Amino acid sequence: MNQQNLADFIWSVADVLRGDFKQSEFGRIILPFTVLRRLECVLEPTRDKVRSQYQAMQSIGVDMDLILPTAAGATFYNVSQFALDSVGSTSTRANLEDYIAKFSANSRQVFEHFAFDGWLEKLEKANLLYLVTQKFASIDLHPNVISNHEMGLVFEHLIRKFAESANDTAGEFFTPRDVVRLATTLVFAPDHQALNGEGVVRTVYDCAAGTGGFLSSAIEQVAEWNSNARLVPYAQELNPETYAISVADKLIQGFETKNIKLGNTLSNDLLPHEQFDYCLANPPFGVKWEKVQKQVQDEQTNLGFAGRFGAGLPRVGDGSLLFLMHLLSKRKPAEQGGTRIGIVLSGSPLFNGGAGSGESEIRRWILENDWLEAIIALPNDLFYNTGIGTYIWVLSNHKDATRKGQVQLIDATAMHAPMRKSLGSKRKFLSEQQIAEITKLHEAGENAPNSKVFATTDFGYRRITVERPLRLRFSVTSDKLATYQNTKGADQAEAFAKVEGSFDNLPAFLKAAGIKKLGKAALKAALACFGERDAEAQPVLDDKGNVQADSDLRENENVPLNQSIDDYFTREVLPHVSDAWIDTGKLDAKDGQVGIVGYEINFNRYFYVYQPPRALAEIDADLKAVEAEIAALLGEVTA
């Protein structure tokens, strides 16, 4: 039985629940029972041995956590006399509660996070507890029958079904395994020591772990490539139920679950000061972070770069870059081997926010520190809950010498295969061959039709402010005079009332009114009330003799970092507006030079291929063919 059929079989328990429970509640019952049965199957071969040892030693006060895991052959154990097939049709709930309570603490917490006792009570009231228990007791979930990898897919399938029935977003909890495989391959492949060494131990961390599938796949891949290497998982997850599945999964794999934390990564990092060899994550796309806004802002204000968010804060509507900065805070020093990071993001972190914005400053921090190694554009429709374009960012603080100061962009949007059956929004997948092709492109690190290599500075620019003179023609009418009398310059109204005709410059206008000089407020009022924009008029000077800028004509130009501002201005601006000038007072806060520095990665621009329009004769022929077809159809109707 493959994992899809097994998941469907497990889900068939919903037929028993239907009527007594809402459809949105099915998963909250089915998931913990599935986990319970999986744990039971793992412990079944050593069950009698563990109980015998427990009964022999319980009276002498020995810490069972030091003794029984060895007897169980696992990192957890159970000492209850009950099992799912022996809880009985009477006192079922009490016996089940005894069974769960006598798991070791590290596995018992799984059911606490599922709030399982509440659901047992509801099942008992509906007279369904024994029936459901027996259904799960009949399923063989032993690792010899269904591997950890397959079991992970079962959990993901069940969560997806549960999310669909609850109108929820399953994609928040896990990443498609083909995307995971590509990300882990890109991250692990350059670490030749880990892949070839004896007894190598590496750590891997996921800050938005979901069910732990990313970590499980990473562990499997390293073991597949080098059975003598060991990957130790660390994680944090926000959702209690998916956290419970992740803990159960790691328990079965024999890992220490104290490294798997429950809580909000952005507001409360539960693995502070830890550093990892690898970081992998698929944080939720476009999720608002206003719930943790105060904690995040406080950390930035109080700690700056000593905390996680010193580089800047993105807009509250999308917290993706917060997760990226969090992962970068977990990097090991380069002299200790550094850290490689793979993170799946939507398109907005590439370009959202102009120069000086939080997003741009975060990109600037990453690129100026030369941590970004590559970005891979993935095909649409790869994920279960969204069809939008997605990207894998690969980062490292210990780049290979040939990649120093460079970023590789890979366009893999055309590399995909169709799904035989769509799963939510997932209509495409990455085959093993396509993953290998993308990996080879990354490994080569060279320019090709779907691979471009850039200097880190190629994504930077300076936003300069281009000003043009304020040109006004002045005249006095009764309406303008009435408006002027309601301003701070009203004491000059009598003088302006005598002016006749129009003037293309301010000095002549004031001379006609018999006014030698106006104060700042009075001048501002006169310009606003009597002046009308005229491109043929002379520039207006301020009280210091400087040309005033026209705010309506103010524009910004983005000058590439590798170009001279003056040369760019002379070449691109002056030929079109000869009276323009650069506002040299707008300086970058960090380097003090003219122009605000910004960074963006306009991915599509670099891979755009011009498609010339079809010949008019060809289009005309198509239109005539369609007209003839329509005429024939109309003829059949009217015949």
pLDDT tens digits along 61-90: 788 988 999 999 999 999 999 999 999 988
pLDDT given for residue 637 in this prediction: 82
Q: For residue 159, which of 147, 144, 174 has the smallest C-alpha distance?
A: 174
Do 31 and 124 have their domain in common? yes
Do 239 and 326 have their domain in common? yes
Q: At 626, which helix (H) or strand (E)?
A: helix 616-638
pLDDT given for residue 492 in this prediction: 81
**Is 36 inside any structural domain?**
yes
* Residue 523 CB coordination number (10 Å): 19
Say what the alpha-carbon torsion angle 442, 446, 451, 457 is, to the nearest 10 degrees: 100
**Is 435 inside any structural domain?**
yes
8 Å CB contact between 158 and 4: no
Q: For residue 510, which of 488, 536, 492 has the smallest C-alpha distance?
A: 492
Do 205 and 275 have their domain in common? yes
Partners of residue 219 on adjacent β-strands: none
Q: Please tell me the distance from the alpha carbon of residue 597 to that of residue 591, in angstroms, as a whole number.
A: 9
Partners of residue 461 on adjacent β-strands: 560, 598
Do 446 and 332 have their domain in common? yes
pLDDT given for residue 170 in this prediction: 41
Q: Is 531 helix (H, G, I), strand (E, B) or coil?
A: strand
Do 489 and 446 have their domain in common? no
Do 141 and 188 have their domain in common? no
Q: Looking at the 3D structure of the chain, how many domains does it have?
A: 3
8 Å CB contact between 397 and 372: no
Do 404 and 451 have their domain in common? yes
Do 225 and 366 have their domain in common? yes
Per-residue pLDDT of 214-229, as tens digits, reads 999 999 999 888 888 8
Q: For residue 206, which of 218, 215, 217, 196 has the smallest C-alpha distance?
A: 215
Q: Is 204 helix (H, G, I), strand (E, B) or coil?
A: strand
Tokens of 184: 């882990």
Q: Please tell me the distance from the alpha carbon of residue 65 to that of residue 50, in angstroms, as a whole number.
A: 12
CA contacts within 13 A on the Cβ side of 95: 15
Ranges of residues in the chain with a pLDDT under 70 are 1-4, 163-174, 488-490, 639
Q: Which of 431, 462, 493 is the last residue of a domain?
A: 462
Domain containing 199 — which CATH number? 3.40.50.150
Q: At 476, which helix (H) or strand (E)?
A: none
Q: Which of 438, 462, 486 is the last residue of a domain?
A: 462
Do 155 and 204 have their domain in common? no
End-to-end CA distance of the chain: 60
8 Å CB contact between 359 and 321: yes
Q: At 86, which helix (H) or strand (E)?
A: none
**Is 380 inside any structural domain?**
yes
Q: For the chain, state the CA radius of gyration.
A: 34
Tokens of 589: 């806060």
**Is 148 inside any structural domain?**
yes
pLDDT given for residue 171 in this prediction: 45
Do 186 and 265 have their domain in common? yes
**Is 25 inside any structural domain?**
yes
Predicted TM-score of the model (pTM): 0.86
**Is 636 inside any structural domain?**
no
Do 452 and 329 have their domain in common? yes
**Is 604 inside any structural domain?**
no
The range of the structural domain enclosing residue 126 comes to 3-165
pLDDT given for residue 544 in this prediction: 78
Q: Please tell me the distance from the alpha carbon of residue 472 to that of residue 505, in angstroms, as a whole number.
A: 7
Q: Which of 462, 482, 498 is the last residue of a domain?
A: 462
Do 458 and 473 have their domain in common? no
Q: For residue 32, which of 104, 94, 123 has the smallest C-alpha distance?
A: 123
Say what the alpha-carbon torsion angle 589, 591, 596, 601 is, to the nearest 10 degrees: -120
Q: Please tell me the distance from the alpha carbon of residue 338 to that of residue 361, in angstroms, as a whole number.
A: 23
* Residue 350 CB coordination number (10 Å): 22
At residue 299, what is the residue type? E
**Is 16 inside any structural domain?**
yes
To which residue do tokens 């502070």 refer?
272
